[in-house]
Copies of this chain bind each other. A is one copy, B any other.
Amino acid sequence: MAGPFLTMLDLAGVAVFAAAGALAASRRQLDIVSFLFMAAVTGLGGGTLRDLLLGATPIFWISDGRPLALCAAVAVIVYLFAHKLESRYRALLWADAIGLAAYAIVGSGKALATGAGFAPAILLGVVSATFGGIIRDVLTGEKSVLLRREVYVTAALLGAGVFVLADFAGLSRPLAATAGFLAGFGLRAGALAFGWALPVYRPRPPADPGP
């Protein structure tokens, strides 16, 4: 269904989201089993929601043991080496940024493969890209990454949109996926490095009451 390029991007997304989940566990000073749990839930969460919405059950990590093994390995590595990082929260955000861009492409690609239209394919990319971060923040009680000022959902939307548009325009799948990934990751990287943000909603005073 998905070509080798999307499969590679999928595993890369699992690994970096697992790292972000394990880093969230380290910030909460949890134990090693909770590192494993947070790595597995965050690493596999977005793809799980994607497969549920597409009706692709049993879920990918039940029929295939490798994604889970990858999460476990990443959790152990983070447990052993996270203290060497200057800022574990910055590392978490950068891992999350790679995962966000990767999952936006993979989610949209799987949706296209089931015959979804333009807009639904993009939404599925956005939802599966953001769900790992959402569930990680809910489980560890962090302020949701969705509420941060710099662009987040927008980066997933841009990545998924560029990929789907390039696919509709007839580009080869790996080329479209690369373009989408670079667009999504580039925007989020700019947001993390330079604080890029869209203008926020500022309520003006209420209108005069009608006659």
Contact = CB atoms under 8 A, between A and B. Distances in A.
Interface residues of A, number: 73
Contact of A53 (B40, B58, B147): B58
A29 B41 CA distance: 30
B82 A203 contact: yes
A5 interface: no
Contacts of A116: 58, 62-63
Contacts of A117: 65
Interface stretch (A10-18, A149-157, A172-180): A149-157
Contacts of A207: 83-84
B62 A54 contact: yes
A157 B205 CA distance: 38
B48 A53 contact: yes
21 contacts: A25-B201, A26-B203, A29-B200, A29-B203, A31-B151, A31-B201, A33-B198, A34-B154, A37-B153, A48-B53, A53-B59, A54-B57, A54-B59, A58-B114, A58-B116, A62-B124, A63-B116, A83-B205, A138-B138, A140-B144, A140-B146
List of 6 A-B pairs having minimum Cβ-Cβ separation, nearest first: A55-B57, A31-B198, A33-B154, A84-B207, A83-B204, A37-B153
A35 interface: yes
Given A32-B201, A82-B203, A83-B205, 20 more contacts: A30-B201, A31-B151, A31-B197, A33-B157, A37-B130, A37-B157, A41-B127, A48-B53, A53-B58, A54-B57, A54-B62, A55-B59, A62-B120, A69-B119, A83-B203, A84-B206, A134-B139, A139-B144, A139-B146, A141-B143
